[in-house]
Amino acid sequence: MYKVGITGGIGSGKTTVCQVFEVLGIPVFYADTEAKNIMVTDALLIEGVKSTFGKESYLEDGKLNNKHIAGIVFNSDAELAKLNALVHPAVFRAFDAWAANINPKVPYTLKEAALLFESGSYKMCDTSILVSAPMDVKISRVMQRDNLTAEQVKARMDKQMSDEEKSAMANHFLINDEMHSIIAQVLKLHEHFLKVAAGA
């Protein structure tokens, strides 16, 4: 099955774009949502987190001790890299299992991931889409959504790969700036993927 990766920086509106694809009948794997799920369901991952960050990484009821983990990884790039090294392979496994259960008549699937390029998961896809938007639009969206200041949003953005860096790796581009029609752009890509998938 033809697999399309889709990513975009914080505030780019990639989730909205994915919802348009879903309306067209294309299944979407939301990697970031799945990552939160497998942190408490994937036995191999749970064991890895406990051995790396301590048994207190999980509460008695089995939930993730977010405060404990955040206190370790948000202050250290090295510790964050350790966590990502555990989580990313588990998400890859979850994606493979999800894709294996998709109806074979579906022409293609989407894998939505904030860290599509950083994690290397784009290598599991046949092609990729970058959703982008002007900086001021992205900042405004995140400020409204997460009730943050512009400075707090910029600090988050600084931790992500820039759109310029992602552009060098992406195959297709969608501009979500509230001026260009997202539906028209998605329909154009959808038709393209249908043709490519039919010939694959």
pLDDT tens-place string over residues 69-118: 989 988 888 999 999 999 999 999 999 999 999 999 999 999 999 999 98
Nearest to 190, CA basis, from 34, 22, 30: 22
**pLDDT tens-place string over residues 18-48:** 999 999 999 999 998 999 999 999 999 999 9
Residue 97 in tokens = 């299992």
CA distance 170 to 168: 6
- What are the residue ranges spanned by the domains of the chain? 1-27+107-200, 33-101
- Average confidence score pLDDT of the chain: 93
Q: What mean pLDDT do residues 157-162 have?
A: 84
Decide which of 3.40.50.1220, 3.40.50.12780, 3.40.225.10, 3.40.50.300 is the CATH code for 33-101.
Answer: 3.40.50.300
Which is more confident, 154 or 48?
A: 48
Q: What mean pLDDT do residues 167-192 have?
A: 95
54 with 68: CB under 8 angstroms? yes
CATH architecture of the domain covering 1-27+107-200: 3-Layer(aba) Sandwich (3.40)
Helix (H) or strand (E) holding 135: helix 135-146
